[in-house]
Structure 1
Amino acid sequence: MAVDRQQRLLTWERTAEPYLFAASMLFLASYAVRVLNPDLSPGWNTFWDLVTLVTWSAFALEYLARLLLSDDRRHFVRTRWLDLVVTVLPLLRPLRIVDVHDRMLRRRGRPRLALEARVMTYAGLTSLLLGFAASLAVYHDERSAPDANIRTFGDSVWWAASTLTTTGYGDATPVTVRGRWIAVGLMFVGVALVGAVVGSFSSWLMRAFRQDGEA
C-alpha cells in the first residue's frame, strides 16, 4: 500500500512539473507587468490579478495533492519544507529548480553532464530568476519611498546583481523594511550560490589537474 502511494506521488510529481513551471512563469510575468506598468487599465489590471490568483491557487492545490498522496505526511512536511515555502512565497519558486533536477536524475539514472557542470548551470539559472524576482519586489517597494536611492528598475537590477554576487557597492540600498528583508535573503542566497559555483569549479580544476598528472 505504501509502495503504491509512493508510486502515485512520483507519477503525480512527474506529470505536474511542466505545468507548475508554466504556472511559475505566468505568476512571474503577471507580477512583472503590474510592477513595471502601474498605470494599467482596470480591465488589464483585473486580468493580471486573476492570473496571479489562479497560478497561486494552482501551487497551493498541487502541494495539498502531494501531501494527501504521501504515505507519511509528517515526514513529507519535514523533508519538503522548501515546497511549502515556495507555495507561500511563489517568487522563491526558482529555488525548486535544484530539487526538481535532483529528482529527475534519480528517475533517469546517471546524468550526462559532470556534477560540477550541473551545479554551476542550475546555480546560474536560479540566480538569474531569483535576481529578477528580487529586482521586481524591491523596485515595487522602493520607487515611491522617501529618501530611496532605487528609483528605476535599472537601479533595482544593478542592486540585485551586486548583492547576489556579494560585491555590495553600496550605491543602491533598500530603505523600506520589506526591501531590507529581501536584501538579507538575497545576501544569504548569493553566498550559497557563489560558494556552490566556486566550489564546483575548484573541484573540476583539481580533477583536471589530477587526470593530467596521471596521464
Structure 2
Amino acid sequence: MVKVKVCGITNLTDARKAVDFGADALGFNFYAPSPRFIAPEKVQAILSELPREVCKIALFVNAPKEKVLEVIAWGVLPDHEQAFNGLQFHGEEGAEYCRGWSLKVIKAFRLKDRESLVGLYGFPADFYLLDSWAPGYGGSGLAFPWDWLEGLRSDRLILAGGLDVQNVAEAVRRFRPYGVDVCTGVEAKPGIKDHAKLKDFILAAKGSG
C-alpha cells in the first residue's frame, strides 16, 4: 500500500490527527522563510508525543550542513533515541551534499520539464520526491504534467505537487509510487491543516488499490 507523508506540520494537534487518520510519515520544515517553518525546540516537544512507528522527516532548503546536524541533535529524545528517520533536501543540494548522512535521504526534484528527470536514479538518495517547479520552495499547490513520469521506475518515488483528495487516487493507481506527499492540498491556511481534508486525502490515497 502506498505510503502517505503529510508535510508542513507545525503543531501537535495536526500531527496527532495525521497519525490517527493513517499517515505513515510527517514532515517538519526547517526553511525559515516558509510559512510552515517550525523551530527545532518546538519540534522536539512534538516528536516526543508521537508513536515511534511513524516516520518523522526533517526538511531543509540549501541549509549549511551544520544547521542540519543541529536539527538532528534536537531530534534526540530524553531516552536518547533519535526521533527523526529521514532528511528531505528540497533545494539545489548536489550529490556530494546528499552523501554520508546517518539518516535516510529524500531528495526533492522540482520539475520544469521532462528533461528534469534525466539521471534521477543515479543521484545518491534513498527516495526521490517529485514536485512541481515554482519560484519559491515547496507548498505551491501546483501540479506538473503526469505524463512526464511514463516509463519511470516508481519503487523509490514520492509524488508531490498539487495533490489533493480529488486527484491522489488517480495518481496512485496510475504510477504505483512508493509514496505521496501532501501539504497545501490539506491546509486550512499555510501551516495549519484542515482535518476533514486530511482524513479524506489519506483515505483516498490508501483506498486506491
**TM above 0.5:** no
Q: Greater RCO between the two (CA within 8 Å, min separation 6)? A: 2
Q: TM-score, normalised by structure 1?
A: 0.26
Larger Rg, first or second structure (1 or 2): 1
Q: TM-score, normalised by structure 2?
A: 0.27
Determine which structure has the larger helix proportion and give its number: 1
